[in-house]
Structures are given as structure tokens and as C-alpha cells.
Amino acid sequence: MITPLKFERVTARGLRNLHPTELDFSPALNVFLGDNGQGKTSLLEGLCVAATGRSFRTDQIREVIQSGSAGLSVSVQVNDDGFCREQSVTIGAKGRQASIDGKRVASMAAYATHTPIVVFFPDDLDLVTGAAATRRSLLDRIALYTNPISQEWRLAYVRALRHRQRLLEKSCDDARALHAFEAIIVEQGQNYARAHSEAAQSLCRHLTEIFDVLCVHSLSLEVKFAGVELANAEAYRQELVKRRAGDRHRKRPSLGPHRDDLHLSLGGRSARHHASQGQQRLLALAIKLAELKCIQVARQAHPILLLDDVVSELDLQRTVSVFEWLRDTDSQVFLSTPRQDVISALAITKKEQRTFSVADGQIQHKSCP
């Protein structure tokens, strides 16, 4: 039994350009309508901060604080299979603090996976067109749910890798100390690589399925996990030894799961270089929906979906197929758009829909059209 998970209410103060806000949500579909720069994305960002302590727009969390405001406080009431809890994040002079039902949490990493959410926003096009690091963080994020200890593997692996690189670059050829770090790299790297490959397997399975549903003209998608084979510990260790000189020269380590990637191709050609903008966008969206499915399976809960300006650049047919997907999902959806016509098109989802108008930092509940 997969448990439903819903945001029931949000309270936000000091968030970007928004006035102090308190909103009650529909358990199914929530739409934020307004022109550009009015605060739609900021509201979605606030929900993301409340659920994870992080923003999808910036790594500098203080940028989320309204200019002139001392701090930010945003809390959501989460309905988790009938039980309610209050999750709050405040960012102020004391830094970032998160609490659940008024109790401070010790680990931000654990807090971030408490109420799983999946965000799609325009920059996510990078999943298709950007550097490998973007796709790697996707795999890291999925692994966080499928195998929580993978986070520790990754941190240990990266630290050992950086220690080794520093030793190499000091051109201190102390083979013995290098050996110590390489032993840790092999142990943690094998674990981390396995976590990546499991996450990739789960993602590939769901991604091809979802892409078939979304893509109207059948376009064959091929997803391939590009990671090196590291199952043999001794061979891995020897390869690291062999690459010492090269790694020193290039100033970066050349072997291991920190270079893993996903290769995406459409109709046999690289999606990054040959797909149209619209196809790339649809593929990026499909990846996020597949991420949602992976988390859903791992956590046995329906993650909450935040979609920022999802339909721009999609043609009518594809917009319809995306909305049909939204019709069939059990996840609660938050969707922002500047287009009035999207509201009526969303009627095909036949969901209890709540529409909010966003203007000049003020958000108001509109009665259903």
C-alpha cells in the first residue's frame, strides 16, 4: 500500500518578493496563475525549502530571504496517510534550522527526505543538455531514497579522492600513504558505484515507460548508464596506481563513480546534440516523473510534485499527454503558469482543482472556473 502524502497548508514570511502568506491547498491539483515576476516560482520555492531545507533555484540559501527582511520562516502542514505534522524551516541570524512538530532536527540530510518532493523547473533542461554532474546528482538523489547509506559512501569516497589528489599534486610520491587512500577509494567507490547503478536501473525502467506515454509520435528513447566496471577490487586498486601520474598531470582523478553519467538518445541519436528544444524539454520532464516513480517505489509513498512553468515550449498534443499523466497520478501536484488557457485545459484531469492568482507578491484563492 503506497501512502498518500499532501501539503495541507503553508505559512511563509520573508520569502523572496511574497507578502506574508497563508494558504490552504487542494489534495489533488493546485494551480498558480500570474504574469512573470509576480511570485509563482517563489511560492513553489518556499514549499521546496519547507520540505527539504534547500532551494531548487540557488545553492546560496540566503538569497531566498526577502531583501530588507531579517530572516525567512516557512512551514507546511503535511498530511501523511491521515496523520498531520508540521515541518518548518527558518533561516536567520542563527543560520538554517529545521523542525518537525516543533522539535529541532539534528540532521538536515535526514530532514530533506522526510517528505519526498520532486521539482521540475525550466533549468531542469540541463538534465538533457547539461554536464554529466547534473545527471549524477539525479542518481545521487534517487540513491538517497533507495539506499540511504549511499550518502555516507559518497561523502567518504569524495573525501578520500580529494586527499589522494592533494598528495599527488604535492608531487609527494609517498606510495604508501597513497595506498591508504586508494584502499578507501576502492571500498567506498565500489559501494557508491553500486548505488549509482541501482539508481540508474530503477530510473531507466520507469523513464522509458513514462516517455512512451508522454511522447505522442513514437520516438524511441534509449537510456544507458555510463559507469566503469569496478567489481574487481584488486583490478580497481591497480588501475588507480597506474593512473597516478596521469591524474597528477591532469589535476583531477580520472577513474571512478564520480564520473558516472547517463547517456540519453532519441531515435538512435544523442538527445543532447540532436533533439529539438521541445523534445529535450519533454525528455527532461519525463526524467523528473521517472524520479518521482523511483522515489515512490523506494519509499512506498506518493512524492509531492512541484511543476514550475511546465507547459511552455510543449505543443498542444504533448501538453495534453502531460495533463493526462497528471490525471492518472496519485501525487499531489503544484503547477505554476502564466497562461490563462492552461487552466481550462487542465479540466481534462478531472481533479479537485484549486486555482490561485499571483500578482505583485500577493497570492489569492480564486473560485474554480
**Nearest distance, CB of residue 56 and other proteins, angstroms:** 25
174 touches other proteins by CB under 8 A: yes
The residue among 142, 136, 134 whose CA lies nearest residue 118 is 142
Q: Are strands 117-120 and 304-308 parallel, antiparallel or unpaired?
A: parallel
Asked if 184 touches other proteins (CB under 8 A), the answer is yes
Query: Between residues 36 and 171, which has the closer beta carbon with respect to other proteins?
Result: 171
Q: Which stretch binds other proteins (CB under 8 A): 19-27, 128-136, 148-156, 279-287?
A: 148-156
> Per-residue contact track with other proteins, 100 to 139, x per CB under 8 A?
-------x--x-----------------------------
- According to the binding rule CB under 8 A, does residue 167 interact with other proteins? yes
Query: In this chain, which of 85, 170, 250, 339 binds other proteins, going by CB under 8 A?
Result: 170
* 148 lines the binding site for other proteins (CB under 8 A): yes
Least distance to other proteins, CB of residue 115, Å: 17
Among 108, 183, 214, 343, binds other proteins (CB under 8 A): 183
- CA 236, distance to chain mean position in Å, is 31
Nearer to other proteins, 125 or 184 (CB): 184
Residue 167 CB, nearest approach to other proteins (Å)? 5
Choose the stretch contacting other proteins; rule: CB under 8 A; options: 70-78, 124-132, 147-155, 286-294. 147-155
Q: Does 176 bind other proteins (CB under 8 A)?
A: yes
Contact residues for 154 (Cβ-Cβ < 8 A; gap 6+)? 140, 192, 195
- In whole angstroms, the minimum distance from the beta carbon of 177 to other proteins comes to 4
- How many whole angstroms separate alpha carbon 110 and alpha carbon 94? 20
Among 51, 72, 160, 326, binds other proteins (CB under 8 A): 160
Taking the complex as a whole, the smallest distance from the CB of residue 161 to other proteins amounts, in Å, to 10
Q: Site residues (CB under 8 A) for other proteins?
A: 107, 110, 148-149, 151-152, 156, 159-160, 162-164, 166-167, 170, 172, 174, 176-177, 179-181, 183-184
